[in-house]
Amino acid sequence: MRCATRASYARRVSTPSSHRAAHIAIGADHAGFELKQHLIAFLSAAGHEVEDLGTHSTESCDYPPICAAVGRAVRDGKADLGIVLGGSGQGEQLAANKVRGVRAALCNCLYTAKMARSHNNANVLSMGARVVGVGLAEEIVTTFLATDFEGGRHERRVAQLAEIEEQESK
């Protein structure tokens, strides 16, 4: 069932491309800390505003609160997009997706980064620091930021995801 209000919501939350500066919330656990630090510098040099939501060392920590904070920053409009990092990126994606309105996608290659944005209007990127190297991570982030949501038939599907989320939260 198509809901016009959900469809307009899916269109409204499409975020800016890389040709415009974006406000990006970023967070990582201890396994993703070094990659996070690198990406903060990389994104800042590209003109983006980056908000570091932790962790701030390689000391072992739990990722769920950090990833939820990134998700809330995106949901609440304090950030255009979010990035969460961990060893594999799996748990980080799951934690971010627990925040209502977040569409976090695990992207450890360029194809999934492009499809996550163009077809799913993903608003949080998750990557595994033990899976991707620094160079590939930069390319994934660049692709994610440069790809716009296509809308069309995908808009209907993103709206359906939002409707499922709403039903399940009751």
What's the pTM value of the predicted model, to 2 decimals?
A: 0.89
Q: Would the pLDDT of 2 be above 60?
A: no
Topology (CATH level 3) of domain 21-168: Ribose 5-phosphate Isomerase B; Chain: A, (3.40.1400)
Q: What is the pLDDT of residue 170?
A: 86
CA dist., res. 49 & res. 40, Å (int): 9
Domain boundaries, the chain: 21-168
Q: What is the pLDDT of residue 19?
A: 62
**What digits encode the pLDDT tens for the residues 150-162?**
999 999 999 999 9
Query: pLDDT band at residue 20, thresholds of 50, 70 and 90?
Result: confident
> Tokens for 116?
């996550």
Catalytic residues: 92, 119
Helix H segments across the chain?
A: 4-12, 33-45, 64-75, 90-97, 110-118, 134-146, 153-168
User: Quick check: 165 and 100 in contact, CB under 8 A?
Assistant: yes
Q: Would the pLDDT of 9 be above 50?
A: no
Task: Tell me how far apart the 2 most distant CA atoms of the chain are, in Å.
Answer: 47
Q: What percent of the chain has a predicted confidence (pLDDT) above 90?
A: 87
The three-state secondary structure class of 86 is strand
Q: What are residue 162's phi and psi, to 5 degrees?
A: -65, -40
Query: pLDDT band at residue 91, thresholds of 50, 70 and 90?
Result: very high
